[in-house]
Structure 1
């Protein structure tokens, strides 16, 4: 049984359908990358998985639990956390305060242990734990956002465009951290415009186009598929 199973969902905003009969799955311990052109519905899919939108048709399960109608709060309680593309840190709060808010359901001793786990993954955050998040570089803010999501020790981490707006050097650093997070046993579902790099680090991938499944398979196979390359990888 997949850890996450999105089964033939159709959804959108008000009366505007964005996703039509979309299916994806994430197995335990995987990195799964979702790629596709702008407007393909990638971020809408992530919002549906995290309960910010509900499927009009189809279902979403986490393990053996149907979460199709769950709120984000209920989903977090099932140990799935989400890092949106924008507005993903509290800019007026310090790094440490952001992390503590990320662990809002934990007791004090659990918060301290969770912070230490995050600091092991992102040593720069420990060095700058008193610094306000809004004064940090884009790459450091992204680390704060991911660290906050990791405070609750999720089984599945959702990342929406983690490399957006970052320099190539910082993109490499963030991708390296994602691989490190995954190596601790956290499954990752990632939407990413940097399609080639995201597929290189992923186990499997999905290509969305016009709100529908277009291609899916092992990430290496998608990278080597000439049609995927021509249409979506600039090859």
Structure 2
């Protein structure tokens, strides 16, 4: 018996205003799975994220999360179902401290649960505990990314959406962020769907991947299959 996907994007077409970006895009994420979406700039990868999180609504097609059609839901409704989104930019409250950012992330949780969850986040990102009183706007790009991911995890989501989590980070910090993503998936059993320009590294950690180009699905398979596909390597992995 095939299990029902946690997230099912089924033949979604959408865009901005009159400009169509996605055409019949279909993507699935199973429970506890890491899925990476790769492709060139302008492929529509971030648009998929925005459509899934309700920042854009499909012109056609459907989006289901945990068995519920969320195609017309707004972001605040989607958060309440157990999905969080970490955008590439403007993903922290710069004038708030680390502690305050985490508290903001827990806005739909009971007060009694916040302290315990925050302890788990500090165990995951020890540097945030060290700098918990510091304003997020004074932190490095990598540290802000940790704050953003920690804030999303405060909600104990079933699925976290990560849009370019390694963008603009130093190589050593990129390795650390990817390591933490694997830890989040394996330790907290949280499904991850990420858009990432660092295609090779993201596919190495992904259970499955999708290659997009010009707003359409082009190739899909396990992370290993895509890494070993000569056409994918030539066109999208720089090899």
Query: Smaller-chain TM-score range?
Result: over 0.9
- Once the two structures are superposed, the pairs formed by residues 93-172 of structure 1 within 5 Å of their partners are 93-172=96-175
- CA-to-aligned-CA distance 1:4-61 (integer Å, 9 cap, x gap): 0000000000100000000000001110000000000000000000000000000000
CA apart distance, 1:107 = 2.5
1-structure distance, mates of 2:116, 2:110: 10
1-structure distance, mates of 2:110, 2:32: 27
Show structure 1 runs of 5+ residues with no match. Answer: none
Bigger shift: residues 114-123 or 184-193:
114-123
TM-score (norm 1): 0.99
1-structure distance, mates of 2:196, 2:103: 27
CA apart distance, 1:116 = 1.0
> Which residue in the other structure is 1:185 paired with?
189
CA apart distance, 1:103 = 0.3
Q: How many residues align?
A: 235
CA apart distance, 1:108 = 2.0
Q: CA RMSD in A?
A: 0.6
Bigger shift: residues 200-209 or 116-125:
116-125
> Which residue in the other structure is 1:201 paired with?
205
- Once the two structures are superposed, the pairs formed by residues 30-45 of structure 1 within 5 Å of their partners are 30-45=33-48
Counterpart secondary structure, 2:40: coil
- CA-to-aligned-CA distance 1:165-202 (integer Å, 9 cap, x gap): 00110000000000000012000000000000000010
> Which residue in the other structure is 1:48 paired with?
51
Q: Does 1:220 align with 2:224?
A: yes
> Which residue in the other structure is 1:232 paired with?
236
2-structure distance, mates of 1:20, 1:202: 24
Counterpart secondary structure, 2:204: helix
Counterpart secondary structure, 2:58: coil
2-structure distance, mates of 1:142, 1:121: 13
- Once the two structures are superposed, the pairs formed by residues 1-80 of structure 1 within 5 Å of their partners are 1-80=4-83
- CA-to-aligned-CA distance 1:95-143 (integer Å, 9 cap, x gap): 0000000001122221111211111111111111101001111111000
* Runs of 4+, deviation exceeding 3 Å: none
TM-score (norm 2): 0.97
Counterpart secondary structure, 1:222: helix
